[in-house]
């Protein structure tokens, strides 16, 4: 059971894969674990899981000889599957989408809120999505199906079975081929990979417990399962989401345009209620802020930062800054309203 030790959230039972519930009484600090994972794997916005599965599938396809090192691949494949789904869960919860944020609750997980944990969330050391995704059990296919089904509010394996390449689906509709031609066989192989991971990690073998042909088949199936899951989740979230880099750029640009219109309206509202001297100060402040936005967006647009996706990330950076500024301007507008309606320091009711 979880416990609190010196104000730090710890978990008393951990298995050999870092999952709660089956260890030797080790103590866990979830915030430290999440920060350490970030340092090892890069920004949490990156999905290393499917990329790793693609590499494993390509690498095993080239193998030609049997050997004890084959045991590495099922272990790596399951680690990549878990990484992918934790990334997916984090993204869905941290998106703020009301369809998902309340489906997996902290109080239903092996977590106990402590002062230290609340401070970490408030100080943005970790997000709610990171905490939940790091805490859920994903140690077999049934656990993944249950967690993802609860989060998305649907039958997850049915969603995966019906998953199709998004571009083909957009062009051909339901006549587009599914990603998994034989989904039940793919699910069975993923289950077998989980079983092998457990066997390899917990038993000593004088020879490899897995054959070369099996490794190739299992890694390919794990990659196909994760890829179908990604397509299925994306379609469930937004069937009309941008598919190409140009589509994403145009969608982001439109969101920036709408935000800019909102900002200009709030700017006008604030300025109209200010004395002339303060209007000049406010206008200069906003001009300086817009110059800062332009510089930060240019930085994100650089090839060094984002390669050939620079134009998209320029818009995404602008969007993020616009959202934050709009919230702040709304606060200023409320203060300005209070100053006009409650002069001489009178308190608003």
- Asked if the model's pLDDT at residue 348 lies above 90, the reply is no
Query: Does residue 89 form part of some domain?
Result: yes
- Residue 302: which domain range? 245-341
Please state which of the ranges 74-78, 227-231, 300-304, 338-342 shows the lowest mean pLDDT: 338-342
Query: Which of 221, 237, 253 is the endpoint of a domain?
Result: 237
* Same-domain status, 97 and 201: yes
The answer to whether residues 57 and 146 belong to one domain is: yes
Residue 163 lies inside a defined structural domain of this protein: yes
| Domain assignment of residue 346, yes or no | no
Residue range 122-143, pLDDT digits in tens: 777 888 888 888 888 899 999 9
For the stretch 165-219, pLDDT in tens is 999 999 998 899 999 999 999 999 999 999 999 999 998 877 778 899 999 999 9
Report the alpha-carbon distance of residue 195 to residue 155 in Å, rounded. Answer: 23
pTM for the structure as a whole: 0.78
**Per the domain annotation, does 216 fall within a domain?**
yes
| Window from 52-61, 100-109, 298-307 with minimum mean pLDDT | 100-109
Whether residue 259 is found in the same domain as residue 198: no
**Are 80 and 153 in the same domain?**
yes
List, for residues 1-44, the tens digit of each pLDDT value.
333 343 333 333 344 344 444 444 456 787 888 888 888 877 66
Domain boundary among 237, 270, 294: 237
Distance separating alpha carbons of residues 226 and 84, to the nearest angstrom: 7
User: Would 187 be classed as within a structural domain?
Assistant: yes
Domain of 279: which CATH number?
1.20.1270
- pLDDT-derived band at 339 (thresholds 50, 70, 90) equals low
Instruction: Tell whether the model's pLDDT for residue 346 goes beyond 60.
Output: no
Q: Which residues contact 228 (CB under 8 A, 6 or more apart)?
A: 160, 161, 163, 178, 179, 180, 183, 186
Point out the domain boundary residue: 174, 204, 237.
Answer: 237
Clarify whether residues 199 and 58 are in a common domain.
yes
How many distinct structural domains can be found in the chain?
2
pLDDT of 46: 66
Does residue 340 carry a pLDDT above 70? no
pLDDT greater than 90 at residue 101: no
Asked if residue 349 has pLDDT above 60, the reply is: no
Q: 254 and 176 in one domain?
A: no
Please indicate whether residue 21 or residue 120 has the higher confidence score (pLDDT). Answer: 120
Task: Based on the fold, state whether residues 205 and 115 are members of the same structural domain.
Answer: yes
Please give the Cα distance from 120 to 187 (Å, whole number). Answer: 38
Q: What is the pLDDT of residue 141?
A: 97
More confidently predicted of 45 and 260? 260
The mean predicted confidence, pLDDT, of the chain is: 85
What pLDDT score does 13 carry? Answer: 38
Residues 79 and 144 in one domain: yes
User: Which single residue is written with the structure tokens 């990979």?
Assistant: 193
Based on the fold, state whether residues 171 and 281 are members of the same structural domain: no
CA distance 42 to 66: 33
Report if residue 105 sits inside a domain: yes
The pLDDT confidence band at residue 312, using thresholds 50, 70 and 90, is very high
Neighbours of 84 (CB within 10 A): 25
Q: Note the pLDDT tens digit of each residue in 74-100.
A: 999 999 999 999 999 999 999 888 888
For residues 100 and 199, state if they share a domain: yes
Asked whether residue 252 falls in the same domain as residue 221, the answer is no
């Amino acid at each position: 059971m979880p416990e609190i030790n010196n104000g730090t959230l710890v978990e008393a039972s951990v298995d050999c894969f870092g999952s709660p519930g089956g260890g030797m009484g080790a103590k866990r600090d979830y915030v430290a674990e999440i920060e350490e994972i970030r340092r090892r794997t890069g920004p949490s916005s990156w999905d290393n899981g499917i990329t790793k599965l693609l590499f494993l599938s390509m690498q095993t396809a080239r193998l030609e000889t049997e050997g004890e090192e084959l045991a590495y691949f099922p272990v790596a494949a399951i680690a990549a599957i878990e990484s992918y789904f934790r990334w997916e869960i984090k993204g869905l919860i941290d998106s703020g989408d009301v369809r998902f944020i309340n489906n997996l609750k902290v109080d239903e997980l092996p977590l106990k809120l402590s002062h230290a944990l609340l401070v970490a969330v408030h100080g943005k050391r970790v997000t709610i999505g990171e905490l939940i995704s790091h805490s859920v059990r994903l140690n077999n296919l049934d656990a993944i199906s249950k967690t993802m089904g609860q989060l998305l509010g649907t039958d997850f394996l049915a969603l995966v079975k019906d998953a199709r390449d998004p571009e083909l689906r957009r062009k051909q509709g339901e006549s587009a081929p599914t990603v998994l031609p034989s989904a039940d066989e793919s699910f069975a192989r993923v289950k077998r990979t989980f079983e092998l991971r457990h066997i390899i990690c917990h038993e000593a073998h004088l020879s490899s417990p897995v054959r070369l042909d099996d490794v190739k088949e299992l890694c390919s199936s794990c990659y196909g399962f994760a890829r179908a899951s990604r397509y299925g989740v994306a379609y469930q979230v937004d069937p009309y989401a941008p598919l190409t880099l140009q589509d994403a750029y145009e969608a982001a640009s439109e969101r920036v345009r709408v935000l800019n219109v909102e900002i200009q309206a709030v700017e006008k509202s604030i300025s109209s209620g200010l004395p002339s001297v303060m209007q000049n100060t406010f206008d200069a402040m906003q001009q300086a802020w817009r110059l800062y936005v332009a510089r930060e967006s240019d930085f994100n647009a650089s090839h060094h930062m984002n390669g050939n996706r620079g134009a998209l990330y320029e818009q995404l950076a602008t969007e993020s800054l616009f959202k934050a500024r709009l919230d702040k301007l709304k606060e200023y507008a409320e203060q300005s309203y209070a100053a006009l309606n409650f002069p001489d320091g009178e308190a608003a009711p």
